[in-house]
Structure 1
């Protein structure tokens, strides 16, 4: 049985006050018995979040990391540094990193390995643009992104990866893949993984990212191959994010 996971990606948003608010609300929040919840705030708030979330179910994640352990990389953060602040998860390959910062599949692969080496669970983000979807290339693009990384990992490494499908055309646009569209892609990813190991594929956690909100979360999470959500804008509203988490029960 796969444990659902809801991850809130704050991107370059948030405040110390929001961190404290999440800590207060989730201290007494009623949530499904089996659920993992992760908040991925900007780097400056990690230490405050570690303390604010100490008595809650909330765990910490990072939005990216550098492939190197240390070095002359001004402005960058390593996995070992993140681990010191209680970070348990890290996004790799988010579409905004791929598009705005030109991170290609090789860079994504290197960051994923860095997360694993720091004992941080990587959340590998994959997804197609609107042009690629309209051209009928959704599965080609998604499986290329998945395959470039997963085919190069050892079996024990693959078992530690979470995959988030985020159709680029649905991020921050208010548009959302229909549950059927999302399920088709998720099923394709799981079947691809079965080519390595069917037991591993059965246990692989797949998240949907792309304008998941309190209104559509339950229907998306009801799909057989969707095990949780990578939530953007709605994760900045504590009541909405809590409602999404409660939908995962």
Structure 2
């Protein structure tokens, strides 16, 4: 399930490309105090969100939107109540009035349905040492520091990328899903086609995980084709719509829409 928040800019300013930390902080402010204990434990609450779109320089009065998804209706209810009460969303230096909030429950369809999911924000895919070993790959660093992560790139092939997506959905299922109803681990391919949206497939984006710490992440955006095999596959695809795919989902990466959106 998801919220679509209709916003109106109150300021003239450039769009902040490194908005992730500020937007996440703004959403967590809406979730306090009900979810403070979860935040302090560093456990995920089950939240994914788009960027503020459409992308581009802001002029006072411009109308933008934000989508926020979660498998937990109570999380969305808390967010909606806080946003409608304050009538304001502040993301770093970007300020918006909240005009309206609507609720949606996108669904990939019954078994036999075909369609596409599209990543509205870049997918984070960091390859762990064990995954590199499994696929006979060599670590490639984004910095001279040996501790810097190896991000997925086209030269690595699709298999490690598929593995990270499957791992992220398995984690979402274990933390937030209907574990008593659906049989996981995942068997079979989740998606049957991978169409990159960016010409160069991957791109770099500044990311500030905490205030004052700026990193560079290598991301990719995709149009992902599927044919729903059975109820379990349908459940997993809908879980991707609720939780996102890849890593750092609760920082706004890997947010997924149905392609018709």
User: Is the structural similarity TM-score above 0.5?
Assistant: no
TM-score range, shorter chain: under 0.3
Whose relative contact order is higher, 1 or 2, with alpha carbons under 8 Å and at least 6 apart? Answer: 2
Between structure 1 and structure 2, the one with the greater Rg is 2
Give the structure with the higher percent helix: 1
TM-score by length of 1: 0.23
TM-score by length of 2: 0.22
Give the structure with the higher percent strand: 2
